[in-house]
Structure 1
Amino acid sequence: MYAQNYARTYRANSILTASPGQLVLLLFDAALNSLAIARQACDHAPADPRQYEIVNAQLTKAQKIIAELQGTLNLEAGGDFARTMHQLYDYYDRRLVEANLRKQSAPIAEVERLLGEVRNAWSEMLRQQETSVPSPALHHVA
């Protein structure tokens, strides 16, 4: 019980003290976590149909997070790159809707892989910014 409270407090504090760039990274991580849970539940659902409820809940959560990431894009400042990311987030959403409707794990795995690549690129960009000259606050254009 106490461990859960400490973990909850730690998560809350890490969110409150995170930079804008780190908050985006936390969103990526939360979406990837939901996708992993959904994929595993989908794989086990034929043996236990109750798992489909988990699939639906976790995919819905991931879609909301992806929509939030998409909403933080600055299409004016980000130019073609931001527009491409906007389209990519749309693609992720369509694939997750398909996965949920057809109860298939392959589209979930695809989005998980692609979003993981974007997450890793974002993380690397943050790491490089930390080691270079300080710059103004990051705005999510990726």
Structure 2
Amino acid sequence: MAINNPYATYQNNTVTTSTPGELTLMLYNGCLKFIQQAKKAMETGNIEEKNKSIQKAQAIISELMLTLDKTYPVSQNMLVLYEFANSRLIDGNIKNDGAFFDEASDIIKEFRDTWKQVIQINRQKQYANVDEI
């Protein structure tokens, strides 16, 4: 008999009921979380945990790269920045240097913050259109 895990149920519901924009925001936040976990693991000498966390952050960046809509001119610039962030994670992991992780984190934070603004603007427009009806 399986035991229901309320946290897992909540997480599943959050993902399945989120908009594509909210899911992208979750990816950015998850990537940042894993980078921070890697830095902490590195500081405590837990190389295995550092490597696992960086691999998770890299998987998220890869997903963001794969799902990037390349029909827009800005997409190519975004792709270059994703590739650079990914290379910083690789360098930081190999050289055991948190400064590389910080560089990657700064790039992802910029994307996340911009994406947050896009979501807020779209919500404002959506609610403004609802008020007009």
TM-score by length of 1: 0.83
Is it true that 1:56 corresponds to 2:64 in the alignment?
no
Deviation, structure 1 residue 25: 0.6
Task: Please state if 1:69 is matched with 2:64.
Answer: yes
Amino acid at match of 1:122: W
- Give 1:43 deviation, angstroms: 1.9
1:3-22 aligned within 5 A: 5-22=5-22
Matches of 2:13 and 2:29, distance apart in 1 = 16
Deviation for aligned residue 1:108: 0.6
Shift of 1:70: 0.8
Paired with 2:109 and 2:126, the residues of 1 have a C-alpha distance of 27
Report the Cα distance in structure 2 between the residues aligned to 1:44 and 1:106, rounded to whole angstroms: 16
Rounded to whole Å, the distance in 2 between the matches of 1:97 and 1:133 is: 40
Q: Secondary structure at the match of 1:74?
A: coil
Q: Does 1:90 align with 2:87?
A: no
Partner residue, 1:27: 27
Find the residue that maps to 1:73 and give its secondary structure: coil
Gaps of 5+ in 2: 128-133
Return the letter of the residue paired with 2:34: S
Give secondary structure in 2 for the equivalent of 1:38. Answer: helix
Q: Distance in 2 between matches of 1:21 and 1:65?
A: 15
Whole-angstrom distance in 2 between the partners of 1:124 and 1:8: 28
Opposite residue 19 of structure 2, the aligned amino acid is S
Whether contact under 8 Å (2:92, 2:99) holds in the other structure is yes
Where has structure 1 moved over 6 Å in runs of 4 or more? none
CA contact (8 A) 2:81 2:107 kept: no
Report the alpha carbon displacement of residue 62 of structure 1 after superposing the two structures with TM: 0.3
Structure with more contact order per residue of length (Cα contacts < 8 Å, sep ≥ 6): 1
Give unmatched runs, 5+ long, in structure 1.
46-50, 135-142
